[in-house]
């Protein structure tokens, strides 16, 4: 079976994570992706240890996480020769992804306005921290800073500790995914219009977009949500509970699940207590409710409590380490760990009934395809 995007050609002038993540996603879906690197290469080739070593190439595991399946060519845009080389690559390209600072490619004649007449069908995706308009366009957009500005850190962490960032560069990852969606929407629209367009993607915009229900809580009430640790602002019990040997996530989503939880914990009276009859009641009485629930969960081992929850149809799950996660039978069954030419990797999550992913090579060596 063919991959869905076979026949599309992507030129990637992107470094670090958001742009490369979009490029890797398109590559996994079958597009030909040519990564254009400076003579020194993508910065993340040096972001180790750990490193992946292949022959004379030594690139960080971080680089391999976002560059699978691509070709690599070296282009020095500061030279006329390099500029001509890039123009040659664009002759039959469908998509260009770049994450230079706003206006950074104009001095080389590689910005959208300079290319749109020469390549009218080109879909040109610019990824920056703050976008092409607004008072922050000149600022460098690092994920950590974006997490702070966007409000994400204000709702992440324990209430009596420092605000916390997500354990991954989540705004970079989401921007890469949103960029992929925008690019494919533009490809579809091009079938009707016959022309490409400029896509302006900003990490801050994407970070604001994913604040979701928390932002809606604020917009509805005018009250800014605060950090609740592992608790859910709108739903309870939906958090982490202590057991005799660790912790377990219990995530009830309706009254029936709560009642079954109480019964399996031996708290039959709570199942029918009017103080906890509805979710709104439980939110209002969260501290007292959780104190009783946790006193009961501490009498179970994590494994025994998980099994009891499964037996009573109460949603629950463990808190896995990375080792636990990759050994999880469901993760194994879904084929989420892959290996290409001896280089390990994490699979893309797409599963098609009439197509397959294009896993044909690991991340490239610098200039491997010159």
* Cα dihedral across residues 272, 278, 280, 283: positive or negative: positive
Chain centroid to Cα 107, Å, comes to 32
Contact 196, 96 (CB under 8 A): no
CA 288, CA 110: separation in Å to the nearest integer? 62
CA 352, CA 85: separation in Å to the nearest integer? 36
Structure tokens, 223 = 């009250």
Select from 37, 32, 30, 33 the least CA-distant residue to 14: 37
Q: Is 172 noted as a catalytic residue in this protein?
A: yes
**172, 200, 245, 304: the active-site residue:** 172
In terms of C-beta density within 10 A (0-12 exposed, 13-18 middle, 19 or more buried), how is residue 15 classed?
buried
Structure tokens, 366 = 């610098």
Helix-helix angle 255-264:302-311, to 10 degrees: 130
Pairing assessment for the beta strands 247-251 and 57-60 based on DSSP bridges: unpaired
Select from 257, 254, 126, 288 the least CA-distant residue to 197: 126
Pairing assessment for the beta strands 337-340 and 343-346 based on DSSP bridges: antiparallel
Pairing assessment for the beta strands 95-98 and 9-13 based on DSSP bridges: parallel
- SS3 assignment, position 59: strand
Residues catalogued as catalytic: 172
């Amino acid at each position: 079976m063919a991959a869905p995007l076979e026949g599309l050609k992507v030129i990637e002038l992107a470094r670090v994570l958001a742009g490369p993540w979009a490029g890797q996603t398109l590559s996994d879906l079958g597009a030909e992706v040519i990564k254009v690197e400076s003579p020194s290469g993508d910065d993340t080739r040096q972001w180790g240890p750990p490193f992946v070593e292949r022959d004379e190439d030594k690139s960080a595991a971080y680089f391999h996480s976002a560059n699978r399946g691509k070709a690599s060519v070296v282009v020095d845009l500061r030279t006329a020769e390099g500029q001509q080389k890039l123009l040659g690559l664009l002759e039959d390209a469908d998509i260009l992804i770049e994450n230079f600072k706003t206006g950074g490619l104009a001095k080389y004649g590689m910005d959208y306005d300079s290319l749109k007449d020469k390549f009218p069908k080109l879909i040109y995706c610019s990824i920056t921290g703050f976008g092409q308009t607004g008072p922050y366009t000149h600022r460098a957009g690092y994920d950590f800073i974006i997490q702070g500005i966007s409000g994400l850190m204000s709702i992440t962490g324990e209430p009596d500790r420092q605000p916390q960032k997500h354990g991954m560069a989540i705004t970079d990852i989401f921007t890469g995914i949103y960029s992929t969606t925008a690019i494919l929407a533009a490809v579809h629209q091009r079938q009707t219009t016959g022309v490409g367009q400029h896509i302006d993607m900003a990490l801050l915009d994407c970070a604001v977009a994913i604040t979701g229900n928390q932002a809606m809580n604020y917009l509805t009430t005018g009250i800014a949500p605060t950090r609740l640790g592992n608790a859910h602002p709108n739903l309870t019990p939906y958090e982490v509970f202590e057991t005799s040997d660790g912790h377990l996530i219990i995530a009830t989503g309706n009254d029936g699940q709560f009642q079954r939880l109480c019964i399996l914990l031996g708290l039959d009276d709570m199942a029918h207590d009017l103080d906890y009859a509805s979710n709104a009641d439980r939110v209002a009485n969260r501290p007292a409710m959780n104190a009783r629930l946790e006193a009961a969960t501490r009498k179970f081992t994590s494994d025994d409590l998980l099994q009891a929850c499964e037996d009573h149809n109460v949603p629950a799950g463990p808190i896995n380490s990375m080792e636990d996660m990759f050994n999880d039978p469901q993760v194994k069954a879904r084929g989420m760990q892959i290996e290409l030419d001896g280089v390990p990797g994490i699979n893309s999550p797409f599963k098609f009934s009439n197509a397959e992913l294009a896993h044909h090579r690991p991340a490239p060596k610098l200039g491997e395809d010159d």
